[in-house]
Amino acid sequence: MKTIWIILITFVVTAAVVAGGGWWYMKNKTEKEKKPLQTQIDNLNKELGDLKSSETPAPGTAESAGGSAGASSESIYTDNDNHFSITLPDGWEVKSTYYYETAGGEKAKVPTIVLGRKSDTSEDNTNKININLRQSSCQQLSPIPDRSEPAGDQSVEIYIASGTDTFCVSAEVEGQDNSGKKATYQFVSFYSDTSVKEAFKTIVGSFKVL
């Protein structure tokens, strides 16, 4: 009987030692596996933080100019880098804004801005309003303007291409570049919808140097 108890106690002690050793082994293994995983998580969080801190905002911002529901709601686009603001008519927005860069790496000192109606999701440049767009001129339609029309304190020139339903309106406004020096802003729009011309005149007439 005494021998049986000795065997039983020995078995229990051995089982406890084995179980304890197994628990210690698994705990140690888990801790070792967690460390490289946590390191990867920390590295990913750091990379994400670096990406967020390196994002460059667009040169300008648009803010509502007021208006109640159901009423016309214009917005003011302000470019603090280039010291100007313009009024965007109701339903219009900035489609893109960037600085043109030559193949040699020389960057323009005034921004290129494309404006369009919010409902216009096409890539076609017709019925959009371009500011400082390279190689864009109404003289592509006609060598001389058909007439001039007032736009606030400014004036715009209308070009008509014979035999087509496409028109062009252009204007030049004095402003500043991103170094504070005087610069000429060139506005051009090829349009088939006359409401685009009216939006063009609103934008040009609202141009204000800050």
- Ramachandran region, residue 47 (left: φ > 0; alpha: ψ -120 to 50; beta: rest): alpha
Are the C-beta atoms of residues 196 and 115 closer than 8 Å to each other? no
Helices (H), the chain: 2-54, 194-206
Predicted local confidence at residue 162, as pLDDT:
78
Helix (H, G, I), strand (E, B) or coil at 199: helix
Q: What does residue 130 show for φ and ψ, rounded to 5 degrees?
A: -110, 135
Q: How far apart, in whole angstroms, are the C-alpha atoms of residue 137 and residue 146?
A: 15
| 182-191 and 129-131 strand pairing | antiparallel
What's the confidence (pLDDT) of residue 180? 92
Per-residue pLDDT at 102: 86
Q: What φ, ψ does residue 173 adopt, rounded to 5°?
A: -130, 135
- Closest alpha carbon to 58 in 17, 24, 99, 89: 99
Which pLDDT score, from 0 to 100, does residue 25 have?
Answer: 54
Count of CB atoms within 10 A of residue 92's CB? Answer: 24
> In 3-state terms, what secondary structure has residue 65?
coil
If we measure between CA atoms, which residue out of 178, 179, 134, 186 comes closest to residue 157? 186
pLDDT at residue 47, rounded to an integer: 41
- Tens-binned pLDDT, residue by residue, of the chain (210 aa): 556 655 556 655 555 545 555 555 555 554 554 444 345 444 434 443 443 333 334 456 766 554 433 445 789 999 999 999 999 999 999 999 999 988 888 899 999 999 999 999 999 999 999 999 988 899 988 899 999 999 999 999 999 987 778 899 999 999 999 999 999 999 999 999 999 999 999 999 999 999
Domain-wise residue ranges, the chain: 1-55, 60-209
